[in-house]
């Protein structure tokens, strides 16, 4: 990766955690050296306020895992607005994760609305794009990821990406133990950066594009060595302190060789 873009490692806890586990995990992560590396954790929303208190004085930041597409308050039972996430201390929010698209029917249009709502409240969206195994085998990778990112650009404008992060997460590699090869991942990251460059080269050059898809301690370094991979959106490994620390250290080491 280029040193113009500092590495970013985001731990997506998904529907995992408890007050006891969260405290123990944060204590184990207290030794993390995040100089020149951004570290973000995305717990279930119910834990955000408590974790914010535990992180006082720390450089780690928080992210929501999801956000409402609707207005900032109203009769939307079960929803959590961007304003609420910001108020309890979130800095980022994950938008359009493949599990939200697959299990909860989120369309590109809904994802774009969520992106817009998040930025209205000063949150930095982490917009996820990625193809299924069927789409990859059909040679539709470029078509799918371009469509997903263009939905945000067309709704919010390319300038909005100056305060956002993109995460490429091949759906077939999430929670399966399979990982795109570094060269495969790099090819899609480069494609995404070129897509943005067609609108604004400066924004494209400074845009952080993360890889998500079974990132582990033993494959992180080879992924981070690629010029267009700027960090990781980490799932299961973010729940194990030693693994998450190793991924963060690999991100830091990429600055030396990048």
In terms of DSSP H, where are the helices of 4-87? 19-28, 48-54, 82-87
- Mutual angle of helices 141-156 and 108-120, in 10-degree steps: 40
Taking the C-alpha atoms of residue 229 and residue 1, their distance in angstroms, rounded to an integer, is: 6
Is position 189 annotated as part of the catalytic site?
no
Residue 191 in tokens? 């494609």
- Of 99, 106, 131, 169, the catalytic one is 169
Is position 97 annotated as part of the catalytic site?
yes
Q: Is 57 exposed, middle or buried (0-12, 13-18, 19+ CB in 10 A)?
A: exposed
| DSSP assignments along 128-170, one per residue | EE---HHHHHTT-HHHHHHHHHHHHHHHH-GGGGGG-EEEE--
- Of 87, 97, 131, 142, the catalytic one is 97
List, by residue number, the catalytic residues. Answer: 97, 169
């Amino acid at each position: 990766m280029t040193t113009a873009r500092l590495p970013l490692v985001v731990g997506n806890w998904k529907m995992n955690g408890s007050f006891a586990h969260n405290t123990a995990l944060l204590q184990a992560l207290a030794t993390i050296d995040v100089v020149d590396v951004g570290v973000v954790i995305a717990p279930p929303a119910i834990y955000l306020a408590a974790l914010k208190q535990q992180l006082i004085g720390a450089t780690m930041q928080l992210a929501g895992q999801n956000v409402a597409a609707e207005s900032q308050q109203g009769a939307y039972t079960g929803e959590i607005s961007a304003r609420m996430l910001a108020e309890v201390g979130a800095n980022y929010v994950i938008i359009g994760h493949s599990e939200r698209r697959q299990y909860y029917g989120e369309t590109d249009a809904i994802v774009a609305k969520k992106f817009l709502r998040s930025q209205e409240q000063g949150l930095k969206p982490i917009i996820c794009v990625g193809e299924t195994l069927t789409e990859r085998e059909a040679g539709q990778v470029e078509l799918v990821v371009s469509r997903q990112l263009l939905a945000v650009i067309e709704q919010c404008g390319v300038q909005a990406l100056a305060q956002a992060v993109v995460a490429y997460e091949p759906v077939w590699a999430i929670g399966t133990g399979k990982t795109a090869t570094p060269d495969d991942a790099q090819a899609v990251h480069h494609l995404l950066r070129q897509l943005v460059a067609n609108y604004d080269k400066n924004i494209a050059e400074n845009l952080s594009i993360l890889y998500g898809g079974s990132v582990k301690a033993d494959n992180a370094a080879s992924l981070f060595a690629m010029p267009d991979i700027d960090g990781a959106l980490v799932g299961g490994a973010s729940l194990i302190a030693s693994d998450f620390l190793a991924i963060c250290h690999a991100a830091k080491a990429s600055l030396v060789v990048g």
